[in-house]
């Protein structure tokens, strides 16, 4: 099939690459010329394991081509909208990219004789596809949905860091549709995936995505609050999470305590669902608490450091401090809403000399904090520092504590992800979120 993807970011590019690897001809459209050029040169503009290698194959075979020109979507059977849907200032969804994309698509459809199916993959609040995208497409094309073109909503569930394998082995595929032709085409496209395909109305598909992300975020805030209680009680949150997760009704996943959730999805999606619920007369009380816990959680890292050095900021002010992990989770370069951001802001207020390091996220973090000192590797980040904050659980940070001790001037280690083994320490002051009693 000839498939179109509007937006060559984490979702659009990975999906296009995935379908191209299955033999489809994929056209990516992005307004960012630099991204387009990079993709055509087989250099992924984002870090995702395996993506560069895959791009090399599918750009050479011309199964994937990128451009800035919507007219290159001509004759696509299915076109996926994959542009960003960031948060507005009040937490509501900002639909400006979606609207601009729908307008340009409408103009493109005007010139088409086939029956293109437009499927929204971006995360959008319920009724956006029906009440915002569809009218813009009709107005700008002069054509009728269901008669001249199809409309669908296919939420995306891939996770950054394992996006390509998630593409190949999805847990489920949700298809929101209005018309039979779109339903048939989407079912055919997804027929070889070995998972359930759930067909639902458009707005249900939209809400499934928000409800899923908000539920996972709730699990994280829940276990983070239990972790903070463990700190006070001298207990280990991983033991508690294990005991909970063995109950199949609860499940093991997303019970990993830490410095709070970040990334381009959970914070903005929870906020958008809160705003949308309120607008519809349903008070989002649970989600307010989820965001409340998450807002405070990065501060736990600093609190543990200050408690360990006598309670006040005096022992950290002006000191050299290592921050290991800038991306919001390992195996990605995405730093959006990373817990490292509020931590760095607090450390800067204390005039700390920060030595920051991340295996993949430095370029993106630099856009937020251009003047930090970025280390070329973990060793230089630790050199002569008085405190080290492990924010992201990259594998390479998992070393014996004696390694940290040998590089640092004063080995105060705050391990927000509990990746180090306290047994390997000699002189370090080691504190970990949810591991009460570590010293
Ligand atoms: N990143 C994830 O893990 C993930 C997972 C599931 C769903 N989503 C959702 O998918 C959507 C996209 O997320 P993302 O992380 O890929 O975003 P992204 O910011 O990485 O990529 C979006 C791309 O769209 C391009 N763009 C913006 N306006 C455009 C336009 N009018 N025409 C063409 N291109 C345009 C941008 O230049 C950018 O490259 C969001 O709604 C997000 O919530 C993201």
Going 243 to 245 to 247 to 250, the CA torsion angle's sign is: positive
CA 12 to ligand 1 centroid distance, Å: 7
**The pLDDT of residue 312 is above 70:** no
How far from 335 is each of 1, 291, 349, 431, CA to CA, in Å? 35, 18, 21, 24
pLDDT in tens, 135-176: 999 999 999 999 999 999 999 999 999 999 999 999 999 999
Among 135, 153, 155, residue whose Cα is nearest residue 144: 135
Q: What is the pLDDT of residue 437?
A: 60
Q: What is the pLDDT of residue 296?
A: 97
pLDDT in tens, 238-282: 999 999 999 999 999 999 999 999 999 999 999 999 999 999 999
Q: What is the pLDDT of residue 425?
A: 86
pLDDT in tens, 354-380: 999 999 999 999 999 999 999 999 999
**The pLDDT of residue 213 is above 80:** yes
| pLDDT grade for 417, boundaries at 50, 70 and 90 | very high
pLDDT > 90 in the chain, percent: 95
Which is the closest atom of ligand 1 to the Cα of 11? 16
CA 406 to ligand 1 centroid distance, Å: 43
Q: What is the pLDDT of residue 107?
A: 97
Question: Which one-letter DSSP state was computed for residue 236?
Answer: B
Of 13 and 422, which is predicted with more confidence?
13
Across the range 183-209, mean pLDDT stands at 97
pLDDT in tens, 322-355: 999 999 999 999 999 999 999 999 999 999 999 9
Q: Whose CA is nearest to atom 19 of ligand 1?
A: 84
Going 356 to 316 to 392 to 423, the CA torsion angle's sign is: positive
Which is the closest atom of ligand 1 to the Cα of 124? 41
Q: What is the pLDDT of residue 274?
A: 98
Domains of the chain: 2-200 (3.40.50.720), 234-439 (3.40.50.720)
Q: Do residues 107 and 90 make contact, with C-beta atoms less than 8 angstroms apart?
A: no
Write the burial class of residue 134 (CB in 10 Å: 0-12 exposed, 13-18 middle, 19+ buried).
buried
**The pLDDT of residue 313 is above 80:** no
**Counting every residue, how long is the chain?**
439
| pLDDT grade for 438, boundaries at 50, 70 and 90 | low
**The pLDDT of residue 81 is above 80:** yes
Check pocket membership of 9 for ligand 1, CB cut-off 6 A.
yes
Question: Which one-letter DSSP state was computed for residue 112?
Answer: -
User: Which residues lie closer than 8 Å to 131 by C-beta, 6 or more apart?
Assistant: none
Check pocket membership of 179 for ligand 1, CB cut-off 6 A.
no
Across the range 218-228, mean pLDDT stands at 98
Mean pLDDT of the chain: 96
| pLDDT grade for 233, boundaries at 50, 70 and 90 | very high
Pocket test for ligand 1, best of 156, 213, 272 (most atoms within 8 A of CB): 156
How far from 402 is each of 235, 405, 426, CA to CA, in Å? 24, 5, 7
Across the range 104-131, mean pLDDT stands at 97
Check pocket membership of 84 for ligand 1, CB cut-off 6 A.
yes
Among 378, 381, 429, residue whose Cα is nearest residue 405: 429
DSSP string over 25-65: EEEEE-S-HHHHHHHHTT--SS--TTHHHHHHHHHHTTSEE
**The pLDDT of residue 185 is above 90:** yes
**Which residues are marked as active site?**
265
Which is the closest atom of ligand 1 to the Cα of 12? 16
CA 218 to ligand 1 centroid distance, Å: 24
Among 51, 54, 66, residue whose Cα is nearest residue 3: 66
CA 397 to ligand 1 centroid distance, Å: 30
pLDDT in tens, 3-55: 999 999 999 999 999 999 999 999 999 999 999 999 999 999 999 999 999 99
Question: Which one-letter DSSP state was computed for residue 153?
Answer: E
Q: Please give the sequence-ordered ranges of beta strands (E in DSSP) within 303-372, or none if there are none.
A: 320-324, 353-357
CA 133 to ligand 1 centroid distance, Å: 16
Pocket test for ligand 1, best of 9, 97, 163, 212 (most atoms within 8 A of CB): 9
Pocket test for ligand 1, best of 84, 172, 206, 329 (most atoms within 8 A of CB): 84
Q: Which 3-state string (H, E, C) describes the chain?
A: CEEEEECCCHHHHHHHHHHHHCCCEEEEECCCHHHHHHHHCCCCCCCCCCHHHHHHHHHHCCCEEEECCHHHHCCCCEEEECCCCCECCCCCECCHHHHHHHHHHHHHHHCCCCCCEEEECCCCCCCHHHHHHHHHHHHHHCCCECCCEEEEECCCCCCCCCHHHHHHCCCEEEEEECCHHHHHHHHHHCCCCCCEEEEECHHHHHHHHHHHHHHHHHHHHHHHHHHHHHHHHCCEHHHHHHHHHCCCCCCCCCCCCCCCCCCCCHHHHHHHHHHHHHHCCCCCHHHHHHHHHHHHHHHHHHHHHHHHCCCCHHHCCCCEEEEECCCCCCCCCCCCCCCHHHHHHHHHHCCCEEEEECCCCHHHHHHHCCCCEECCCHHHHHCCCCEEEECCCCHHHCCCHHHHHHHCCCCEEEECCCCCCHHHCCCCEEEECCECCCC
Q: Do residues 149 and 137 make contact, with C-beta atoms less than 8 angstroms apart?
A: yes
Q: Whose CA is nearest to atom 12 of ligand 1?
A: 84
CA 309 to ligand 1 centroid distance, Å: 43
């Amino acid at each position: 099939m000839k498939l179109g993807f509007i937006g060559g970011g984490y979702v659009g590019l990975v999906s296009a690459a995935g379908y191209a690897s299955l033999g489809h001809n994929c056209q990516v459209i992005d307004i960012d010329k630099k991204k387009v050029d990079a993709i055509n040169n087989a250099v992924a503009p984002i870090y995702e394991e395996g993506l560069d290698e895959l791009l090399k194959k599918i750009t050479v075979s011309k199964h994937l081509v990128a451009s800035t020109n919507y007219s290159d979507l001509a004759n696509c059977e299915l076109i996926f909208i994959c542009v960003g849907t960031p948060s507005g200032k009040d937490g509501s969804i900002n639909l400006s990219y979606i609207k601009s994309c729908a307008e340009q698509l409408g103009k493109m459809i005007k010139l088409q004789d086939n029956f293109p199916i437009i499927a929204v993959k971006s995360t959008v609040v319920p009724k956006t596809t029906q009440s915002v995208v569809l009218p813009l497409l009709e107005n700008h094309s002069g054509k009728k949905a269901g008669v001249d073109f199809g409309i669908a909503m296919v939420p995306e569930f891939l996770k950054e860091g394992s996006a390509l394998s998630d593409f190949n082995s999805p847990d489920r595929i949700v298809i929101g549709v209005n018309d039979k032709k779109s339903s048939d085409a989407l079912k055919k496209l997804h027929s070889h995936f070995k998972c359930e395909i759930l067909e639902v109305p458009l707005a249900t598909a939209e809400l499934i995505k928000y409800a899923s992300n908000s539920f996972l975020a709730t699990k994280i805030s829940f276990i983070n609050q239990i972790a903070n209680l463990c700190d006070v009680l001298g207990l280990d949150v991983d033991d508690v999470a294990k005991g909970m997760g063995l109950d199949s009704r609860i499940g093991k996943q997303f019970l990993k305590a830490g410095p709070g959730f970040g990334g381009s999805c959970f914070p903005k999606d929870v906020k958008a669902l809160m705003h949308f619920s309120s607008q519809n007369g349903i008070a989002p009380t649970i989600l307010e608490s989820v965001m409340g816990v998450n807002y405070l959680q990065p501060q736990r890292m600093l609190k543990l450091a200050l408690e360990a050095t006598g309670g006040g900021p005096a022992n950290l002010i002006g000191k050299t401090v290592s921050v290991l992990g800038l991306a919001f989770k390992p195996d990605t370069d995405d730093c959006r809403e990373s817990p490292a951001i509020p931590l760095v802001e607090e450390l800067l207020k204390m005039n700390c000399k920060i030595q920051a390091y991340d295996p993949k996220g430095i370029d993106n973090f630099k856009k937020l904090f251009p003047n930090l000192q970025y280390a070329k590797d973990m060793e230089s980040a630790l050199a002569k520092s008085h405190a080290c904050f492990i924010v992201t659980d990259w594998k390479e940070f998992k070393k014996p504590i004696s390694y940290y001790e040998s590089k640092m001037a004063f080995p105060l280690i705050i391990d927000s992800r509990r990746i180090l083994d306290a047994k390997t320490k000699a002189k370090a002051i080691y504190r970990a979120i949810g591991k009460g009693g570590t010293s």
